[in-house]
Amino acid sequence: MPTTLVLIAASIAFAVYFFRPRMLGSNFWRATVTPLASIVGSGFLIAGPILYDAAGTMAWLAMLGLCGLAYLFGAAVRENILHIEDAQRTPLQGFVNEAAGLVLAGAYFISVAYYLNLFAAFGLRLGDITDPFIIRIVATSAIAAIGATGAFGGLGALESLEVGTVGLKLSVIGGLLVTMALAAAATWLSGESFPQHEFAAQRGWDEIRTILGLVVLVQGFETSRYLGGKYDAEMRVRTMRRAQWIAMGIYVVFITLFLPYFTGEVKGEGAETAIIDMLAPLSIAVTPLLIAAALASQSSAAIADTNGAGGLIAEASRRRVPVKAAYLLTAAVAIVMTWGFHIFEIITWASRAFVAYYALQAFLASSAAAQRGAWAKAGLYGAACLLAVTIIFVAKPAEA
């Protein structure tokens, strides 16, 4: 009971902080929270079980590596905000920039499937339903509803769902971290031993490939690149950097505190919602709070990415493909992904798509740095591009 009271009280305290008028009215915070909401989103719900299954007690290091990789790609995007957006581009840079937009639209197609499959899986846990077929039926219905709403009426009405979801999600995550930290401290001070789990003795190349297939867990920082209509370049660079540092702290702390709760049960039906069962002993309030945060964040993220894909396709096709038709195309691809792949395969395909986008961004950043004679940066971003291409080919899905 004490942990339940701590979880609820801490979540409410964070909500009071995040929903105070001064915070909501701060342009700096709003510019920070857009990428932060994307980075600390779906990944938070599945990172713990998957990473411990792949990396054992080194899961925190794997998470740190993923965040570091994302920070490198984020640095390339920041370079382009400062030196590519409003600069005179070479023909090659112009072509790569347009290609990057199309690749990002494709990544959004897949991420919509990813978000709404998780939306369905977590929503159905209210009825303790884990049947993959039923999850796909619900996910398909949600995808079709968003696609049809966008095609026939625009997504303006649904966009209102995004209001408050970020604060709700961060409040639940903050409350969860406080509760886990206090529970760990109480166990340590009492002299009791933490629950132990037997991990596989050997970790090798296959596990590294699985971890590289999880880049989508820390994706989302690139949204700052497309907020130029609201914020200037300097603010977007500063807030994106801050969002990535905050996200890194949240993820690494969570993964570290998650060790006592990992049970190893991450295979079979319900694997994508394993975090609910693993954290259930912490508090009776964990399940409803996690499900509420999941439903809010997944629905708003899917709407945002449907909007983003529609806009990018319309822009790249020079309006030959209307935005509303692009919404239907996004929904159609997401439905195909839903029925053609299991959730962990969708995660890996989403990671590949976003990494392909980062490869193009790193190429642009390298060329821009070379034009200025900043050869160290050009080499760094060139290496990031090669690393991204490697990940595309070697990443593999976690086993369902």
Q: Residue 15: inside a domain, yes or no?
A: yes
Token pair of 283 as six digits: 């508090």
How many Å apart are CA 156 and CA 310, to the nearest integer?
A: 13
What SS3 state is found at 125? helix
Residue 399 within a domain? no
CA–CA separation, 128 and 270 (whole Å): 9
Does 38 fall in a domain?
yes
Confidence of residue 286 (pLDDT cuts 50, 70, 90): confident
**Is residue 176 within 8 Å of residue 7, measured between CB atoms?**
yes
Q: Which of 276-290, 303-317, 323-337 has the weakest average pLDDT? A: 303-317
Question: Does any domain span residue 234?
Answer: yes
pLDDT digits (tens, 9 = 90+) for 105-118: 889 889 999 989 99
In contact, 347 and 214? CB cutoff 8 Å: yes
Specify which of 49-53, 216-220, 253-257, 287-291 reaches the highest per-range mean pLDDT.
253-257
Question: Sorting pLDDT into bands at 50, 70 and 90, what band is 341?
Answer: very high
Say if CB 87 and CB 368 are below 8 A apart. yes
Residue 378 lies in domain: 2-190+198-394
pLDDT at 268: 61
What's the domain count of the chain? 1
What the block records as the tokens of 349 is: 């395909």
Helix (H) or strand (E) run with residue 393 in it: helix 375-394
Kindly state whether residue 43 falls inside one of the protein's structural domains: yes
Q: Which of 109-118, 194-203, 267-276 has the lowest mean pLDDT?
A: 194-203
C-alpha–C-alpha distance, residues 72 and 380, integer Å? 9
Name the more confident of 200 and 97.
97
Nearest-5° Cα angle at 308, 367 to 116: 120
Per-residue model confidence (pLDDT) at position 160: 52
- Comparing 301 with 119, the larger pLDDT belongs to 119
Going by C-alpha positions, the residue among 183, 186, 112 that lies closest to residue 150 is: 112
Model pLDDT, residue 45: 81
Question: What pTM did the predictor assign?
Answer: 0.89
Residue where the block lists tokens 């031993």: 193
CA neighbor of 371 nearest in space, from 89, 99, 85, 77: 89
Average pLDDT in the 337-357 region? 91
The encoded tokens of residue 181 equal 């930290």
CATH number at residue 150: 1.20.1740.10
Cα 52 to Cα 277: distance, rounded to the nearest angstrom:
15
The radius of gyration of the chain's CA atoms, rounded to the nearest angstrom, is 21
Calculate mean pLDDT across residues 42-70. 88
Decide which of 312 and 363 is more confident. 363
pLDDT (tens digit per residue) in 250-262: 999 999 998 888 8
Taken in order 392, 396, 398, 399, the sign of the CA dihedral is: positive
Note whether 270 and 130 are within 8 A (CB): yes
Q: With respect to residue 107, please indicate whether it lies within any of the assigned structural domains.
A: yes
* Nearest CA-CA partner of 108 in 75, 150, 161, 166: 150
The answer as to whether 400 is a domain residue is no
pLDDT, averaged across the chain:
85
